[in-house]
Structure 1
């Protein structure tokens, strides 16, 4: 099927046989040239490829209503793909099953005014879903990559959907527990292409029942792997504390920071406070300078002219601030209104 069109004023038309094709339109809803070219190229391979592209790669972009409707359908496929139970290692990734027939009828009823809308039924949507799945199988095989890399190439945010996130936040109003912890999961992307976070406890309710047990176990599998590496996490899971917000002390935040790599290796997405650069708190830097003064003669005077300075984000610390850092034993210190990661032994050695 070749749907090449030489104009950027396009719309999608549903034929009596249930094919979705690009057609010129004079309703003024033109796409920008680059986006139009990408969509044309995808639909030139068939409507399954076109819908896969719309749902995966055009999420968060501004599209005319008809394109936005079909993007939503493609994005629903992508969401189902990201949230389906993980395949066994070494096995091929299979497309997700279609939504229930009642859901497909609801989707058909929500369609905007468009050419061929009278042909839109649940059966047509079921067939289109199958064609998206066929296109997915072809494209992931062509890419020669695993599913995470394939998703990343289409849109990095898709790699976050269907995953558990451990979120650490600052809570400055609580001196005893200046941090907060919340476990979330992402069920879909928003209309703006951002991952939508829900409390992890809601997954227990959303996936309640035997029909969704496999999906729930797949979602929580990274947590199971992580608790084998982190004793404190196992204690949280056993106590049921993982499924609601927690007040955390500095000690608990430091422990979390120290195990962040282990959590990520297990498949949990770790999110640190937004103000922490590169997902770590700032660290003090020690600088030494030699020979800032003009020596009276070469040799001993120059060697004795040695100055050590400790800075934070390029600004020198005062003697009082340095004293507070050296006295810190927790691993995190609040300096100048920001949390600073402190390796006391290393700091003493370098000074």
Structure 2
């Protein structure tokens, strides 16, 4: 009888492990202020030879310029165009009539991230980039308080406002953002090394660290703590653009492409994530076109209405490959969170999932 009981216990335990292993995993990624123009057309001819924005035009042209948009975008983001475009879905190429727009009217970072992560704009309460705790509940917080994903949610961001955007006090989500060190009580050897070199590295921006730290902290978490829902917010593209450094803006976009490749190669070969992981990528806002006299490509906000133009990318387990969408349809950033919620089987007020598009 004891042997039978022991056998049943082992079977139940193993079944539980299998079910846990079969839970859907989601990686959410944002690239701050990356324009759809570069994503879908590569380096922009308006800026690549402008000495006001580029320190070495000849070198930059060698790395990023080509005759066609298709060639230029492959040079800028090779992983996106060699893998993601073939294995996923890409929305927002306005040259082909496919549109993605924000619905908030602020058109800068905190309102954009709130919209991405909650599925709704809130111009009444989220109308600055101040460090104020978000009154709205994000998909990450919903997941962290769900039975399936409790304590299996983590977030990493280059901007130091993310602990407030994600309301870490209320959501209980571990958030490593800005210049914070490792967020675990038992850091790995690599995390301790990241802590050290982050402290020793010169700081270009007061509230935004280089993405290399955000990326490697997040990758180390995937390898060791195995979160089921992971958010990574890369930030350099926006800050280099504000600085007027188009060359560094392009180089940062290319580095981020390679970082996302590294993430995907890891989860594609790791037994915990392989075949169970979906990746969703977007941006918090667009920016100007650069045709205005004040070089508005550097900026965004309500005074630059075109900075409501964004894009959405998805690939992985739940996504049927259909590539770059060329149909003349309108989508909104508010649809980002409901899509993730549907995959995770989490109830959200906001509706409008993109799954019918991503799975068709």
Global fold match (TM > 0.5): no
TM-score by length of 2: 0.21
Query: What TM-score do the two structures reach when normalised by structure 1?
Result: 0.21
Higher normalized strand content (fraction of residues): 1
- Bigger Cα Rg: 1
